[in-house]
Amino acid sequence: MIALLLRDLRLAIRTGGGFGLGLAFFAVIVIMTPFAVGPSPAELSALAPGILWLAALLAVLLTLDRLFALDAEDGTLEQLALTLPLEAVIFAKSLSHWLTTGAVLALLGPLLGILLSLPVSGMLPLFLALLLGTPALSFIGAFGASLTVAVKRGGLLLSLLVLPLYIPTLIFGASVASRGAAGLDYTQPLALLSALSLGCVAAMPFAAAAALRASLR
């Protein structure tokens, strides 16, 4: 499983593709927002937590269709299913996806928050929210990708399946960032966000493995 994780990390870094596209998409949304809503620091500061979290969610979603599709096309996925438990394969691929998207977005988010006049008090809560919340996005996304792996050009279907499941993560993540920016206590929504991510990490590999087995038969 470690070898598979390292392989996927190398492929993501070397080939770029969805990995680089997701980060660029995240940055473009944040950079373009002041042109759309106006340069007023007060307005941008109020909108910053929600915009940053929504941009991160869409950036993660943009990269999900590559999670299993390339390996399914060249037969690698079937070979992996014969040599490793599918749950371990999905866990490794989801973790690799998070390391190359969610973890990077967590580092990039506070820096781009400066462009949206995010208060200094909101920087740490935003970082923690993205760091602890994006694993849920990657593992839920793996479940959605496993349902559409047999569908050619299933990106739109994948988005329709996954977006409703992303809503709780979006709500708690934006709540952490907004409460932190306002100087309020954000430990409760952060705890709920962490619990949600842990639940997804524990449960989604099994759900995705069941879906992949049905697709590979």
Q: Of 197, 98, 211, give the one whose Cα is nearest residue 154.
A: 211
Query: Considering the entire predicted model, what is its pTM?
Result: 0.90
Residue 15, pLDDT above cutoff 80: no
- Residue 118 parent element (H or E): none
pLDDT of res. 194: 96
Residue 24, pLDDT above cutoff 80: yes
| C-beta separation of 52 from 180 below 8 A | no
Q: Which residue has the higher pLDDT, 149 or 32?
A: 32
pLDDT band at 153; cut points 50, 70, 90:
low
Residue in the block written with tokens 């915009």:
51
Residue 74, pLDDT above cutoff 60: yes
pLDDT of res. 52: 94
Residue in the block written with tokens 């269709």:
65
Residue 154, pLDDT above cutoff 80: no
Residue in the block written with tokens 């996005």:
137
| C-beta separation of 60 from 22 below 8 A | yes
Residue 190, pLDDT above cutoff 70: yes
Average pLDDT, stretch 85-105?
90
Coil vs helix vs strand at 176 = helix
Report how far residue 95's alpha carbon sits from residue 101's, in angstroms, rounded to the nearest whole number. 10
Q: Which of 1-10, 52-61, 119-128 has the lowest mean pLDDT?
A: 1-10
Q: Of 96, 199, 84, 93, give the one whose Cα is nearest residue 145.
A: 93
